[in-house]
């Protein structure tokens, strides 16, 4: 307790409870005692109906017995040491006498006289103390402890120093190994070196090497991010501290920041260790997103986290792994060097990955000889590892219900159907028709980005649905340390975005809703080129829009600083520009038709294409058709190339 108080300084978000725990405790104790007392003593419960308002008179036992024998008594209450008798008639008088014990004649006499009798529990100072004070205080204390441990687990040593975070912080030494994480080979490769760091931190520290601090695991739910983080801890045999970002918001109200501090304190003490933060976006949402002054609490928690990550150096090898499904909404501050500067994609498994995951989980159940996990993998495109684990388990349950010896292929198929029916509403599983559209659409993006000078090159193309919005995606490699973007690069980006829609039009013959987001982004780029970067004829060097203040949340009270006429011209210019680019992109795709067909067919087969394969398809097509395109390498292109062109 002392230790905890030692490092805990007053916090802005410390509320009344945290500042005055003793005072609050005392007040609540007294209230509880009053409630308790009034509840248990009112109406003299336990005194067998003898009203406390009646007159009480002490007499001898002998006298009391005589009164009863004379038929003057209506009711007798027998206590351990005393006996009370209520006289007949009004006003009600109660006689109290010390009992003579034993006296076997008392009850028979009362029976004979037809006097009602009963027993009562006497109050003495001890029971009074216990029931009146100790018990209510104790009950109150128990409730208090329960609430505080739930709500804040630990606020600098907890209320009265009890309920230390140590037992509440979720620390374990996982037994999970890399072999338990199937598929995801790239992700595994990327985190592999962390294990080495954690096993032999001294080796690196001695050399002055900086051990990575933060790694962001990015991917949809159920793809094994937690599992992977645990496996790193399991392989390195280090403690694993896990918290969920949303718990900071939901459970540690008012104390998020000090919880973060405790977490890091604890992890450092047990270093080398791993901190795993699930749902990082719950605390790490960009401060620019959302309402003004929105969430003080969340911001403080986030700031504390940033401070903690900056605060520990090589001397305490703690690696923070965090998971998120939406890296794009994270506050950029979180992603700076020294924080979560590494991102590892943990994606939904492709066909091969699904087979492997099914195999890992099938180890736990008894499969019959007729099972074919590859067939199951084919049926489950778009499902995550967690779904596959569920399918195996569901199949085992079905087999159990039928009292079978082992799990059959039929059980597995039925489990797949159930899982899909259940998921249909949540995450979509795409139909073959949609799959074809998506494959062409993504191939369109990929081909254009591969062949266009100045575009970011393809890293991966996938038609595995990712989250709710995207049915497929083309991942481009971000360029490192790029501060300036040239005009032709902006145009290239527009082209790449339009590539999806153009491919649908050419190869499917009809366009779909799938390009909405692409078109929005393409429009935005053209707009900013005109209005902000002075890259068009229509506005020239005139800046039509000041840099948006993201802190005020875009869209709020933006004043137009140009004429209606200009506004009309802008609209038609943007439209014309997009059309022009779209036509150009369509021409390019038509030229690369065979490459498009090859890529789409392969995507439909294996679902994911890596960078190397994309390059190969394009290169062999170009070689076969003797197409030479502008290379990205000639960095300083002659002024002529860009002259005469405008946004």
Q: Could you tell me the sign of the dihedral formed by the alpha carbons of 618, 620, 625, 629, in that order?
A: positive
Partner whose footprint covers residue 518, from ligand ADP, Zn ion, none (CB < 5 to 8 Å by kind): Zn ion
Record the tokens describing residue 361, joined without a space. 């989980």
Record the tokens describing residue 546, joined without a space. 């000041």
Tell me the helix, strand and coil percentages in the chain, rounded to 5: 55, 10, 35
Is residue 472 close enough to count as binding Zn ion by CB under 5 A? no
Partner whose footprint covers residue 389, from ligand ADP, Zn ion, none (CB < 5 to 8 Å by kind): ligand ADP
Query: Which position has the token pair 């374990």?
Result: 172
- The DSSP symbol for 510 reads S
Is residue 511 close enough to count as binding ligand ADP by CB under 6 A? no
**Quick check: 252 and 259 in contact, CB under 8 A?**
yes
Query: Which CB, 121 or 517, lies closer to Zn ion?
Result: 517
Is residue 181 close enough to count as binding ligand ADP by CB under 6 A? yes
Sequence-ordered list of residues with C-beta below 8 angstroms from that of 156, at least 6 positions apart, any chain: 4, 5, 8, 18, 258
Partner whose footprint covers residue 225, from Zn ion, ligand ADP, none (CB < 5 to 8 Å by kind): ligand ADP
Residue spans of beta strands (DSSP E) within 99-229: 116-119, 171-172, 214-218
Is residue 245 close enough to count as binding ligand ADP by CB under 6 A? no
We find the least distance from the C-beta atom of residue 143 to Zn ion, in angstroms, to be 55
Partner whose footprint covers residue 226, from ligand ADP, Zn ion, none (CB < 5 to 8 Å by kind): ligand ADP
Instruction: Say how many residues touch ligand ADP, by CB under 6 A.
Output: 17
Q: Which of 279, 442, 493, 602 is catalytic?
A: 442
Which of 252, 328, 316, 260 has its CA nearest to residue 288? 328
Our answer to whether residue 640 is catalytic in this structure is no
Query: Which residues 351-410 are close enough to bind ligand ADP by CB under 6 A?
Result: 357, 360, 385-386, 389
Q: Could you tell me the sign of the dihedral formed by the alpha carbons of 452, 455, 459, 465, in that order?
A: negative
Which of 227, 251, 225, 229 has its CA nearest to residue 238? 229
We find the least distance from the C-beta atom of residue 500 to Zn ion, in angstroms, to be 3
Query: Which residues 494-513 are close enough to bind Zn ion by CB under 5 A?
Result: 500
Residue spans of beta strands (DSSP E) within 395-482: 458-462, 473-476
We find the least distance from the C-beta atom of residue 223 to ligand ADP, in angstroms, to be 4
Query: Which CB, 173 or 575, lies closer to ligand ADP?
Result: 173
Q: Is residue 272 classed as helix, strand or coil in its secondary structure? A: coil
Partner whose footprint covers residue 500, from ligand ADP, Zn ion, none (CB < 5 to 8 Å by kind): Zn ion
Q: Give the long-range contacts of residues 602-606, CB within 8 A, separation 24 or more.
A: 603/439, 603/442, 603/443, 603/461, 603/463, 604/435, 604/436, 604/439, 604/463, 606/350, 606/351, 606/352
Candidates 18, 149, 184, 247; binder of ligand ADP (CB under 6 A) is: 184
Record the tokens describing residue 28, joined without a space. 């609540």
Number of H helices, E strands in the chain: 26, 14
Candidates 97, 277, 323, 458; binder of ligand ADP (CB under 6 A) is: 323
Candidates 262, 278, 518, 602; binder of Zn ion (CB under 5 A) is: 518
Is residue 261 close enough to count as binding ligand ADP by CB under 6 A? no
Is residue 279 close enough to count as binding Zn ion by CB under 5 A? no
Query: Which CB, 225 or 501, lies closer to ligand ADP?
Result: 225
Query: Which residues 210-229 are close enough to bind ligand ADP by CB under 6 A?
Result: 221-227
Partner whose footprint covers residue 360, from ligand ADP, Zn ion, none (CB < 5 to 8 Å by kind): ligand ADP
Give the footprint of Zn ion on this chain (CB under 5 A). Answer: 500, 518
Give the footprint of ligand ADP on this chain (CB under 6 A). Answer: 181-184, 221-227, 323, 357, 360, 385-386, 389
Residues with active-site annotation: 442
């Amino acid at each position: 307790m002392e230790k905890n108080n030692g490092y805990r300084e007053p916090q802005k978000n410390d509320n009344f409870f945290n500042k005055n725990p003793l005072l609050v405790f005392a007040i609540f104790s007294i209230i509880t005692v009053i409630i308790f007392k009034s509840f248990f003593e009112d109406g003299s419960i336990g005194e067998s109906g003898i009203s406390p308002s009646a007159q009480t008179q002490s007499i001898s036992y002998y006298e009391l017995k005589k009164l009863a024998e004379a038929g003057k008594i209506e009711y007798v209450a027998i206590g351990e040491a005393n006996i009370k008798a209520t006289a007949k008639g009004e006003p009600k008088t109660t006689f109290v006498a010390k009992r003579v014990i034993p006296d076997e004649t008392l009850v028979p006499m009362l029976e004979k006289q037809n006097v009602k009798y009963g027993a009562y529990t006497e109050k003495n100072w001890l029971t009074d103390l216990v029931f009146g004070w100790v018990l209510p205080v104790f009950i109150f204390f128990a409730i208090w402890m329960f609430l505080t441990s739930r709500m804040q687990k630990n606020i600098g040593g907890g209320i009265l120093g009890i309920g230390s975070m140590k037992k509440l912080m979720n620390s374990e030494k996982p037994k999970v190994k890399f072999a338990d994480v199937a598929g995801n080979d790239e992700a595994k490769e990327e985190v592999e070196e962390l294990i080495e760091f954690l096993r032999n931190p001294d080796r690196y520290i001695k050399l002055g090497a900086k051990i990575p601090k933060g790694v962001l695991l990015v991917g949809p739910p159920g793809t094994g991010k937690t599992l992977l983080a645990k496996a790193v801890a399991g392989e390195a045999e280090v403690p694993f501290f896990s918290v969920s970002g949303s718990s900071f918001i939901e459970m540690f109200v008012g104390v998020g920041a000090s919880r973060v501090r405790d977490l890091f304190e604890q992890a450092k003490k047990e270093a080398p260790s791993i901190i795993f933060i699930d749902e990082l976006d719950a605390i790490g949402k960009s401060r620019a997103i959302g309402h003004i002054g929105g969430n003080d609490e969340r911001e403080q928690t986030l700031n504390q986290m940033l401070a903690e990550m900056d605060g520990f150096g090589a001397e305490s090898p703690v690696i923070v792994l965090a998971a998120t499904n939406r890296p794009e909404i994270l506050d950029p501050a979180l992603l700076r060097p020294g924080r979560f500067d590494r991102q590892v994609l943990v994606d939904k498994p492709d066909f091969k990955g699904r087979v492997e995951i099914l195999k890992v989980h099938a180890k736990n159940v008894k499969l019959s000889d007729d099972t074919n996990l590859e067939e199951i993998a084919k049926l489950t495109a778009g499902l995550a590892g967690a779904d596959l684990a569920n399918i195996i388990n569901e199949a085992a349950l079905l087999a159990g219900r039928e009292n079978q010896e082992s799990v059959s292929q039929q059980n597995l198929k039925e489990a797949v159907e159930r899982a899909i029916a259940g998921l249909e509403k949540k995450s979509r599983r795409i139909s073959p028709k949609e799959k074809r559209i998506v494959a062409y659409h993504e191939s369109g993006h990929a081909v254009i980005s591969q062949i266009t000078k100045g575009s970011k090159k393809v890293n991966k193309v996938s038609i595995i649905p990712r989250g709710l919005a995207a049915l497929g995606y083309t991942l481009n490699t971000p360029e490192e340390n790029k501060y300036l973007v040239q005009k032709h690069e902006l145009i290239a980006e527009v082209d790449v975005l339009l590539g999806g829609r153009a491919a649908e039009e050419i190869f499917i013959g009809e366009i779909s809703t799938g390009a909405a987001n692409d078109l929005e982004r393409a429009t935005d780029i053209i707009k900013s080129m005109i209005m902000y970067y002075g890259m068009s004829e229509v506005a020239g060097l005139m800046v039509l829009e000041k840099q948006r203040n993201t802190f005020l949340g875009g869209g709020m009270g933006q004043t137009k600083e140009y004429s209606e006429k200009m506004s009309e011209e802008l609209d038609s210019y943007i439209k014309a520009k997009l059309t022009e680019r779209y036509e150009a992109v369509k021409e390019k795709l038509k030229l690369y038709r065979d490459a498009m067909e090859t890529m789409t067919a392969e995507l439909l087969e294996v679902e994911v294409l890596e960078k190397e394969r994309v390059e190969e398809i394009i290169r062999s097509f170009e070689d076969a058709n003797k197409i030479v395109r502008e290379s990205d390498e000639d960095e300083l292109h002659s002024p002529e190339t860009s002259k005469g062109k405008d946004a």
